[in-house]
Amino acid sequence: MSTTINFGIIGAGRIGKIHAENLASRIPGATVLAIADPNIEAARELATRLHVPSAVAEADALFDDPAINAIAICSSTDTHARFIIEAAQAGKHIFCEKPIAYDLAQIDAALAAVAKAGVSLQIGFNRRFDPNFRALRQAVVSGQIGAPQILRITSRDPAPPPIEYVKVSGGMFFDMTIHDFDMARYLLGSDVEEVCVMGGVLVDPAIGEAGDVDTAVIMLRFANGALGVIDNSRKAVYGYDQRAEVFGSGGMVASANNTSFNACLSNAEGVHGPKPLYFFLERYAESFVAEMRDFVACLHNGAPTPVSGLDGRAPVLMAMAATRSLHKGRPVKLSEISEG
Amino acid sequence: MSTTINFGIIGAGRIGKIHAENLASRIPGATVLAIADPNIEAARELATRLHVPSAVAEADALFDDPAINAIAICSSTDTHARFIIEAAQAGKHIFCEKPIAYDLAQIDAALAAVAKAGVSLQIGFNRRFDPNFRALRQAVVSGQIGAPQILRITSRDPAPPPIEYVKVSGGMFFDMTIHDFDMARYLLGSDVEEVCVMGGVLVDPAIGEAGDVDTAVIMLRFANGALGVIDNSRKAVYGYDQRAEVFGSGGMVASANNTSFNACLSNAEGVHGPKPLYFFLERYAESFVAEMRDFVACLHNGAPTPVSGLDGRAPVLMAMAATRSLHKGRPVKLSEISEG
Amino acid sequence: MSTTINFGIIGAGRIGKIHAENLASRIPGATVLAIADPNIEAARELATRLHVPSAVAEADALFDDPAINAIAICSSTDTHARFIIEAAQAGKHIFCEKPIAYDLAQIDAALAAVAKAGVSLQIGFNRRFDPNFRALRQAVVSGQIGAPQILRITSRDPAPPPIEYVKVSGGMFFDMTIHDFDMARYLLGSDVEEVCVMGGVLVDPAIGEAGDVDTAVIMLRFANGALGVIDNSRKAVYGYDQRAEVFGSGGMVASANNTSFNACLSNAEGVHGPKPLYFFLERYAESFVAEMRDFVACLHNGAPTPVSGLDGRAPVLMAMAATRSLHKGRPVKLSEISEG
Amino acid sequence: MSTTINFGIIGAGRIGKIHAENLASRIPGATVLAIADPNIEAARELATRLHVPSAVAEADALFDDPAINAIAICSSTDTHARFIIEAAQAGKHIFCEKPIAYDLAQIDAALAAVAKAGVSLQIGFNRRFDPNFRALRQAVVSGQIGAPQILRITSRDPAPPPIEYVKVSGGMFFDMTIHDFDMARYLLGSDVEEVCVMGGVLVDPAIGEAGDVDTAVIMLRFANGALGVIDNSRKAVYGYDQRAEVFGSGGMVASANNTSFNACLSNAEGVHGPKPLYFFLERYAESFVAEMRDFVACLHNGAPTPVSGLDGRAPVLMAMAATRSLHKGRPVKLSEISEG
């Protein structure tokens, strides 16, 4: 392998731009050779700005280019599984945004193609690379809290997505909670066996009319016996609320929100500090760099990627179980889903 | 009514001592005339120490004493309903420790006796009088967080009770979570309609052998549409963990643990602060004073008590529903319990 | 000595009431036998409320009463030294509010009388008994911060005293900073050798017209080589600001303000917490109990009191040096004062 | 002016590298054309890594290059004034690291050359661009704390510099406190008229032998009447301690240290959080980007730079006054220095 990993990027939208910029300027050992997007103008604009040599409309050109070692799939979710398969067949390593697909058969086909080709695959669960959550995981791994017993995740967005997006996203559990499902597995280092949901439409009736909920609490039972709870809202007026806590036999470790500064004002009304950072672009900016830096490092040194294909599959299964629990009004075991 | 409320106290155990001491020295407008306990030595010792004129073995003496205006019932739970009925029939006002009883029929008989006698009744849910939780409730009442949508309560004890107590307490939901059930109703000002539980034995197998759980997460659905979650553990090595958070359309209000001091040490290993206060005697000492001060004030000015008989009944119903949910492995509506 | 220490209290004003109430109901092993105040009505009212048998106008009656073991001097500062001498000559143990006097000769005469009589004397530097500052001191004593190098004290009142008080108090350094001077010696366990002051009239011109400052920063050089700084203001709109920090070769320990609750509100404007407690009555209520409890315990077990006469003298010397530094515009060594 | 500002960088050492990297990849509207360093290997290595076309040994080549619009002076302090003069004479805009010089005559000559040439000059007081301190300044400017009355700055390094550096740096006030002197002026928006110092050698006797102190507290009197205090140590074992607080008639605003993450561990020993970031490279990394971004933006739009030549001169004057105060053991007015 050359001294740099040559990337082709599929998708020049919001997340595609982030990965392209990071790969172009902040990731040692990586180069971007081409950007593909059906919106060829967007691809060209991004390529020009980042001094990327090639911009194309069709992803095929990337798969066919022998100079390209790795593909970053940043296109819409419905294309992920297909592009994984094609990239794998072309022998490219793959970084793919989450979720892999909304359908287990597609996911399994994609993972099979990756396994057959022997290429590396990393799924874009960037929050694992956030320093706060890393510190929590490290406290668990190092035994500082003993045996984990209770996990709490609070995950609230500052504002709901456009209603058109709600209609096609697969629902809140697939487009928002899926990150929390991954975080749950990451923090405890254990799979989840059962989920139980209570949901409601408390933010915007239009979300309910679109068939989704905008507020939920979700209980989890882990394979290792621990219990967990996630609470979600589509709208926290004070900003992006992203906290987690792991409680165990030896103690508890908890993270708080991040702010853009820490100055506090004391006056006759009280003590006033800053709000959490607004949303994921601000809150997780560095984690997008870190996940890609690790991916590139793994390609360079042949190590397994830190977020595997199975790590991409499990949260989809959890989202399916959560959706069924919401509709049926009862706990749902993941085995119930995976067995059909 | 005289310028002081004359109290008779039933029970000279741990909680009886607390109320006797507070009434004797820290509650304006109250006097203790008699203490009753089958352990007459305990009653005498307490009476002597607090300059209380009378110590008796039988509670009947208190009901028969025309100088006594109010009874504080601090005896074991199985005697609460009976003493409420007898005190009401004697025309005494009643402060009763929680829970009223483990049985709805007994509770309803006690509440009927109180209603018939027209006396005042206050149940000992002292946490409502804690300054942190009062501030949360005030933020909700004042509209500062808009419409409440998600409630989170963390309630973890520093150490499990003796296994003999576990066997007779009615289970964790009745002796520990019942405070959280009351807190949930208090903070949101709404009844709970449905509960769903996941529980486990993660602290001590002996608790499981006694038929109980020691770790649980509990989802709540409120009549007003809000959702809630409680997490409980019998053993937090860092001390008594008592936090709550209410999230709504206009913001969030949250409380943290209390410590005995706030000095922080920064050294080469990090920044180190004190643990939470050890347990309820330390954490809620002032709330025991405050609840009794309010009770006495209500008797003086004829106002309704802040924790009514129905407030005492509802958490028992919730504990019953939680117990059923744990055993059945499904959500349980409170209507299912109250209708038999 | 009897099983209880019988107290006579001189002064039925604000601080006299606090000590009387604490001694009457919250200090084991102490009893109040008499209260003396030239305002005999105030003495009688307080005595009646607290079931104290005797109220008198003249302090002499207390010194003459053989049943009285200890005197708490809570009268105006100009009477302290005289009452100490008379109490000592009468063989009574003495708790005296700070400062002992504004004049070294008076102080030294008082301390000589105490030494000659062999009675116990404790000066009312109550802040030493505050849990936050105790934790700081403990961190220093235990070696957790290594050798102390820099001390920082912030001490700001919520509102200036009446201008009539300013005119007779001896100045801000004598009535307010004197507590910080004591705190400096307490926290570092070392005497101060030199002070240097910058002061200003930034709060109220009337304070300047009365010959005082209302804002000051004060540098300290300790005998052990450490440096310190105190900052004072007569008016912090957010409440009583009482913080300290000790920095040393092995780390730093710092305390924050106390609040009446810890609930925080997050909304679209930020995160909002409560103000510090308003003033010393709220902030240091428990320290008044603790200092007297320790004094009584020392009398019972014959131990030296925790705040000696020399501890009462040293801050007066510091206040004198600070006053001279302010007027001369240069550093002043304490030896310069004590040598005349 | 072209659409990009073409920079020549003098100095390929630690700070030169930081500015070169930022200008090369993170500052829109800027390009690096050349790097000069007598250590030509260092210049070449840096140029190669950053794709900078030219690396030279002599700074003259930069002044002579008509394609270069701006010079970043990152060489040793003794060369700053000379390079400012030469760059100004060549018509280049100038970004210069602090301090300008240790000598007022040199500084004034440099500022005169800049004024005569009409070029822009910005001094590298990067801490003004830190989000915490910006928020403090904003609170002052917006009137949120009323009229400023007391400033507190704590500034402690994690470890002393090499003793060889101590011998030539001009002393702690010139190489370390100078940042705090600038911060004092920045936060209050007022000049300082008088300083008074207490210093000591508490960290390392070798620093004392080299004629310097390693620990100091410094009082400030501002032209607007406010008072201030800075405390410095060369060695805080818990990391880089960088806090400030401004207290005024309407309230107080304070900033805390930054950490690399915010996870807290609660266990049987207490609650444990992370240390402050280690040193200025970690703590102020983003402020180096921000100061240069603002400088480039000012060049593009013709606005005055945010840190002027006079802003560079004033802290040197303060350091001179502080040095004199230390040696003379008395307060020193800045007018005393500037008038010789």
Q: Provide the pLDDT for residue A339.
A: 65
**Residue in B with minimal Cα distance to C140:** B265
Q: Determine the distance in angstroms separating the CA of C310 from the nearest CA of chain B, rounded to an integer.
A: 28
CB contact under 8 Å between D274 and B274, yes or no, is no
Please give the full DSSP string across D219-261, using - where no structure is assigned. Answer: EEEETTS-EEEEEEES--TT--EEEEEEEETTEEEEE----S-
Closest to A263 (Cβ–Cβ): which among D253, D264, D265? D253
CB contact under 8 Å between A202 and B249, yes or no, is yes
Average pLDDT rounded to a whole number, residues C3-7: 93
pLDDT-derived band at B1 (thresholds 50, 70, 90) equals very low
Average pLDDT rounded to a whole number, residues C37-59: 95
pLDDT-derived band at C340 (thresholds 50, 70, 90) equals low
Q: Determine the distance in angstroms separating the CA of D185 from the nearest CA of chain C, rounded to an integer.
A: 18
Residues of B in contact with C265 (CB under 8 A): 139, 144-145, 251-253
Please provide residue A316's backbone torsions phi and psi, each rounded to the nearest 5 degrees: -65, -40
Partnered with residue A221 across adjacent β-strands are A194, A227
Residues of A in contact with C238 (CB under 8 A): 266-268, 270-271
List Cβ neighbours of B152 (8 Å cut-off, separation of 6 or more): A152, A154, A231, B228, B229, B230, B243, B244, B245, B246, B247
Residue D168: alpha-carbon gap to chain centroid:
18
pLDDT digits (tens, 9 = 90+) for B204-241: 999 999 999 999 999 999 999 999 999 999 999 999 99
CB contact under 8 Å between A271 and C238, yes or no, is yes
**Residue in A with minimal Cα distance to B229:** A217
Q: Determine the distance in angstroms separating the CA of D272 from the nearest CA of chain B, rounded to an integer.
A: 5
Share of residues in chain B with pLDDT > 90 (%)? 95
- CATH code of the domain made up of D128-285+315-338: 3.30.360.10
Q: Provide the pLDDT for residue C2.
A: 54
CB contact under 8 Å between C238 and A274, yes or no, is no
Instruction: Quote the ipTM score.
Output: 0.95
Task: Report the residue of A198, A222, A232 to disrupt the B interface, i.e. the one with the largest count of B CBs within 10 Å.
Answer: A198
Q: How many CB pairs under 8 A join A and C?
A: 46
CB contact under 8 Å between A203 and B329, yes or no, is no
Residues of C in contact with B263 (CB under 8 A): 132, 135-136, 139, 253-255
Helix, strand, coil shares of chain A as percentages rounded to 5? 40, 25, 35
Does the pTM of the predicted model rise above 0.80? yes
pLDDT-derived band at D125 (thresholds 50, 70, 90) equals very high
> Would you tell me how many other CB atoms lie within 10 Å of the CB of residue C82?
17
Q: How many CB pairs under 8 A join C and D?
A: 113
Residues 276-295 of D with CB under 8 A from B: 276
CB contact under 8 Å between D198 and C194, yes or no, is yes
Structural contact between residues D61 and D87, judged by C-beta atoms closer than 8 angstroms: no
Q: Determine the distance in angstroms separating the CA of C180 from the nearest CA of chain A, rounded to an integer.
A: 22
**Residue in A with minimal Cα distance to C266:** A238
Closest to C271 (Cβ–Cβ): which among A236, A267, A275? A275
Q: Provide the pLDDT for residue D312.
A: 97
- Which residues make up the CATH 3.30.360.10 domain(s) of chain A? 128-285+315-338
**Residue in D with minimal Cα distance to C145:** D237
Q: Provide the pLDDT for residue D225.
A: 97
Share of residues in chain C with pLDDT > 70 (%)? 99
How far is it, in rounded angstroms, from Cα A75 to Cα A59? 10
pLDDT digits (tens, 9 = 90+) for D185-224: 999 999 999 999 999 999 999 999 999 999 999 999 999 9
CB contact under 8 Å between A261 and D135, yes or no, is yes
Q: Provide the pLDDT for residue C1.
A: 44
Q: Quick check: D136 contacting C, CB < 8 Å?
A: no
CB contact under 8 Å between A225 and B149, yes or no, is no
Residues 81-110 of D with CB under 8 A from A: none
Q: Provide the pLDDT for residue C339.
A: 66
Residues 214-273 of C with CB under 8 A from A: 236-238, 266-273
CB contact under 8 Å between C256 and B267, yes or no, is no
Residues of A in contact with D132 (CB under 8 A): 261-263
Q: Determine the distance in angstroms separating the CA of C231 from the nearest CA of chain D, rounded to an integer.
A: 8
**Residue in A with minimal Cα distance to B230:** A229
pLDDT for C244 beyond 70: yes
CB contact under 8 Å between B270 and D271, yes or no, is no
Share of residues in chain B with pLDDT > 70 (%)? 99
| Average of per-residue pLDDT values in chain D | 96
pLDDT digits (tens, 9 = 90+) for D267-325: 999 999 999 999 999 999 999 999 999 999 999 999 999 999 999 999 999 999 999 99
> Would you tell me how many other CB atoms lie within 10 Å of the CB of residue A195?
31
pLDDT tens, N- to C-terminus, chain A (340 residues): 458 999 999 999 999 999 999 999 889 899 999 999 999 999 999 999 888 999 999 999 999 999 999 999 999 999 999 999 999 999 999 999 999 999 999 999 999 999 999 999 999 999 999 999 999 999 999 999 999 999 999 999 999 999 999 998 889 999 999 999 999 999 999 999 999 999 999 999 999 999 999 999 999 999 999 999 999 999 999 999 999 999 999 999 999 999 999 999 999 999 999 999 999 999 999 999 999 999 999 999 999 999 999 999 999 999 999 999 999 999 999 999 976 5
CB contact under 8 Å between B270 and D269, yes or no, is no
Residues of A in contact with B331 (CB under 8 A): 196, 198, 329-330
- CA torsion through residues C110, C112, C117, C118, sign: positive
Classify A26 as helix, strand or coil.
coil
Find the angle CA(A151)-CA(A152)-CA(A157) to the nearest 5 degrees: 140
Share of residues in chain D with pLDDT > 90 (%)? 95
Chains touching A (3+ CB pairs < 8 Å): B, C, D
Q: Where are the alpha helices (DSSP H) in C57-171?
A: 60-64, 80-89, 104-117, 131-141, 163-168
Per residue, what are the HEC states of C210-247?
Answer: CCCCCEEEEEEEECCCCEEEEEEECCCCCCCEEEEEEE
pLDDT for D238 beyond 50: yes
CB contact under 8 Å between A247 and B217, yes or no, is no
CB contact under 8 Å between B272 and D275, yes or no, is no
CB contact under 8 Å between A263 and D139, yes or no, is yes
CB contact under 8 Å between A134 and D253, yes or no, is no
Structural contact between residues C197 and C218, judged by C-beta atoms closer than 8 angstroms: yes
pLDDT-derived band at D25 (thresholds 50, 70, 90) equals confident
How far is it, in rounded angstroms, from Cα C212 to Cα C231? 16
Q: Is C5-119 assigned to CATH 3.40.50.720?
A: yes
- Which residues make up the CATH 3.40.50.720 domain(s) of chain A? 5-119
Question: C289-292: long-range contacts at Cβ-Cβ below 8 A with a sequence spacing of 24 or more?
Answer: C289/C22, C289/C26, C289/C27, C290/C126, C290/C129, C291/C122, C291/C124, C291/C125, C291/C126, C291/C128, C291/C129, C292/C19, C292/C22, C292/C23, C292/C27, C292/C30, C292/C72, C292/C95
CB contact under 8 Å between C271 and A267, yes or no, is no
Residues of C in contact with A273 (CB under 8 A): 270-273
pLDDT-derived band at D2 (thresholds 50, 70, 90) equals low
Residues 142-201 of B with CB under 8 A from C: 144-145
Q: Provide the pLDDT for residue B26.
A: 86
pLDDT for B340 beyond 70: no
Residues of C in contact with D228 (CB under 8 A): 217
Chains touching C (3+ CB pairs < 8 Å): A, B, D
Average pLDDT rounded to a whole number, residues B20-38: 94
CB contact under 8 Å between B253 and C268, yes or no, is no
CB contact under 8 Å between B149 and A202, yes or no, is yes
Element (H, E) at D190: none
Nearest to D68 by CA among D28, D34, D36: D34
Q: Quick check: C135 contacting B, CB < 8 Å?
A: yes
**Residue in A with minimal Cα distance to C275:** A270
Closest to A266 (Cβ–Cβ): which among C270, C271, C275? C275
| Average of per-residue pLDDT values in chain B | 96
pLDDT digits (tens, 9 = 90+) for C107-125: 999 999 999 999 999 999 9
